[in-house]
Every structure is written in C-alpha cells, then in structure tokens.
Structure 1
C-alpha cells in the first residue's frame, strides 16, 4: 500500500489506503500507544484479503510518519479528541462504512468513535482496549518506563518514530500515571454503541484484566461478543496472528 501525508484540520497525518473493493466496507486500523502503521506489519493486508474489505491504516499525530505532536501534555479526554479527529479523517476520506480495528489505546478510540459517530462506524473490533484505569495497567506503564530507561527500547522505537520517540513516550507514560487520570472512565459512552462489537483479549494481558472485556460487552446496546485467548498477553495480533485473523474475519463475515 502506498502512503501519503494528508491534512486533517491542521493535523498532518500519514495514511495508507487500499481501496480495490468497490461498495465494500473499509477496515480502519488504530494502533496502540507506542504503535504505528509499520508495526501492524502485514496484518491489515491479510485481513483485507480474507474479508474482501478495503483498508485504511494511519499514524496518529506524533507517531510513525505523521507530523510531531504539538505538546506531550495531554488532557484527560485525549482519546475522545482522537475519536473526533478520526471522524474528521473518515469524512476527509469519504468513508461512511468503517469497520474499526483498534489495539490498546486504539481499541479505546474505536469504542469511543463507535459510540459518538454511529453514522460512519458499522462495526468495531476492540483488541485489549481500556474503559477505565486498573492497577495492573499502571504497573505495565511503570514497567515500560523502566525498560525505556534501562534497555535499548528508545533505539528500537526510533526505527518507527524517528526523533518523536521521547515526546510520544512521555505523552503516554505521564498521562496514564497522573493523579487526575486515575478516575478516567468511558463506561458512560458504551450504551451508545449500537454497531456489532468484537472484543479480543489475551487472558494474560499485562495491561488489563478481563473486567475490561466483561464490562464492555455487557453495557453496549448492540450485538457484542468476546474472544479470550488463554496464555496470551497484550498483543494477540502479533502473538497469535492466525487466531486473531481468523476470529476477526469470522466476525466481519457475519455482517458484511
């Protein structure tokens, strides 16, 4: 897929758009808090192939090949603002039949976007997303911060994010560990999700418990199913890509 930079209300975002299937939905991939288009590797292309759906993958502002963040300081509702920007991106791309596939922060953004913009979002796959803050989540963030200071993690991230690494890492870790972020919660939005939802979670996810899954699928208003994978951590699409691909394709095939 060829990539390009587009301007969405002053935000210069890197996108890759593969659009060969006329009249079919577009699967929009939303990366995690340290992710990028490149880090999805071939998963989007494979899901496109098995479902006959178009694909849009993009780097959020400050990530990958998109332009840098304006500041590392984020408001508590930063993921709701990302959902608003995603809706603007969908409008810009003339996509009104999106299937969102989001991982971690991207999963949360997928849930929020599905709740707020149902006219454009026709289904959502949330992989390891969060709807509230847990102690295990904070432990995962602190562990990542230790790894950033004591290992070659910064150098490995620079391969994907260039000179934006320190800002995006601070934006993630400092936001999640702030006192005012402890009460962040989006459960009030879940009842507005009416499109079909699949929640994928590794049973050994180091960033969240199964409460995230159960409380999500029980509070949405539309069809919802969960897929819990034993012995798997925070990134099922990388740890067991064949299982994640098969389940996502099966879910999409039910409705499209």
Structure 2
C-alpha cells in the first residue's frame, strides 16, 4: 500500500501575557484540521518548545489536531521566573497558567499531554478542569518521588558541572539556563519535596487516560504509569525506550497517541 501523502502543517508563534511575565508559544495546525479538541503539550523540567524538536509537527500530522506548546516562565523564550520555584509548582501551573493560555488562545476543550514533570502538570490540569480536559496523556511522568528518580537527577547534577553541558542548555534557555538547572535539581532533591505525589490530583481525573513510559526510563519504573492509569485508562510501556521517547522515536509515540485518541473519538468523548 502506498504511503499517505504528507500532511501540510502550518506553524504560528505567539506570546501570552501571564502573571509574572510573558510566555512564548507555538501552534501547529494541519491544513484541514479536525474539529476535535487541540492537544496542549507541557514540557519537562529542562524543556521548552524547541526541545520538543519535530514531535509536535508529527503529532499534528498523525492526529489531524492542532497542537499547542509553550515555554513555562523561566524556560526557553519565555520571560524569567520571578523568584524561586515554589514546591507546589506542578499544581500551580495547572491552576493558574494553563487556564490563562487557553483563554488567550481561545481554547475551550483540550487534550492535556505532558512529558516528565509536564506529565504531572497534565494530570493536575485534568483534575482542575474536568469539564474541559477531554483526555489525558502522560509520557515518562513521575507520580511520586522515589530513589530511582533522585539517582537520575544526581547523575545529571554531576553532568552539569561540565561547562559544555551548561553551554548546550544555554542554547535553548539563554541566561535562564542556570536558574532552570538549579530549580530542577534543588526542588527534587530537597527534603521538603520528598512527599510530593499526584495521588490527590489523580483522584480528581475524570477523562480517559493514556500513560506512556519507556521500558528503560532512567528516572522511574513502570510503577509510575501504572499508578497514573490505574482504574482510569491504559499504561503503555515502550520496549527499549528511555526517558525521552518523543526524541527517540517520534513516529512510534505519535502513532500510539493517535490510536488512543481515535478510540476516544469513537467513544464520543473528544
């Protein structure tokens, strides 16, 4: 069977005013977009729009939906974060920033999709906006703090002693790179963050759930997606994949999400 013709995807950059500054956002829109809810991407602890690479375009092509990604304050092309990152930053993003992003972009219903800590933000978003979040997708998300996660962060902490590592990060975050690293490492390794979990938020999730996780994820075992999906949806373990499946095999991940959303569409949910 011949391959399907390539889907034309249009890109648009914009800025979104929020409390504390301005966010950079990018929207990928298929030439003939479906009428279904768009996908909102939430990045990881050191991520940004550019570090999604070509995955949002692949996801828009695979699903036929608009895909929206933004840089959180302190990351990428968004303004610096005004101060120290609070320990409840995961819930705060869902409660205060995501609604503002949706308001500014005239988004009503949406699919919440997040990578790593962005997956935690996606869970919190689904719990905060049960009438608007039509489905939840997490990729390599942590549901609680465990030694494996902290061990991976300590390895990264040592790696960032190398100026070359810091320089690579600065290509994406500019002079905010050091703040981003310290916010990530300092928060997760703090004893005050040790009891953080998504348990309360997960109890409030009412939409279909897909929790994707790499078999070889260095920051957490398969217990995380199982906890996220338990009684709410499906845990999908990608054989051989690590912590960043959207860069390791974007077509595979886009296909997994697309098939999940087609099932949600068939059920008349999204």
TM-score range, shorter chain: over 0.9
Q: Is 1:104 matched with 2:124?
A: no
Task: Give secondary structure in 1 for the equivalent of 2:161.
Answer: helix
Asked if the contact 1:8–1:92 (Cα under 8 Å) also holds between the matched residues in 2, the reply is no
Normalising by the residue count of structure 1, what TM-score does the alignment of the two structures yield? 0.94
1:255 corresponds in structure 2 to 264
Q: Give the deviation of 1:9 after TM superposition.
A: 3.3
Aligned to 1:83: 94
2:98 and 2:125 in contact (8 A); partners too: yes
- CA offsets 1:167-217 (integer angstroms, 9 cap, x no match): 111111000000111111121221211111111101111101111111221
User: Which of 182, 192, 195 is 2:207 aligned to?
Assistant: 195
What pairs up with 1:25-104 in 2 under 5 angstroms? 25-71=37-83, 73-84=84-95, 85-104=97-116
Is 2:102 aligned against 1:113?
no
Supply the RMSD in Å over aligned alpha carbons. 1.4
Q: Which runs of 4+ in 1 moved over 4 A?
A: none
Partner of 1:228: 237
Unaligned runs of 5+ in 2: 1-10, 266-270
Alpha-carbon offset, residue 231 of structure 1: 2.0
- Conservation of the 8 A alpha-carbon contact between 1:99 and 1:121: yes
**Equivalent pair of 2:120/2:138 in contact (CA under 8 Å):** yes
TM-score (norm 2): 0.89
Q: How many residues align?
A: 252
Instruction: Give the Cα–Cα distance (whole angstroms) in 2 for the partners of residues 6 and 246 of structure 1.
Output: 30
**Gaps in structure 1 of 5+ consecutive residues:** none
Indicate which of 157, 173, 181 corresponds to 1:145.
157
Residues 1:245 and 2:254 aligned together: yes
Displacement of 1:10 in angstroms is 4.0
Which deviates more, 160-169 or 5-14?
Answer: 5-14
Answer whether contact 2:39 2:68 (CA < 8 A) is retained. yes
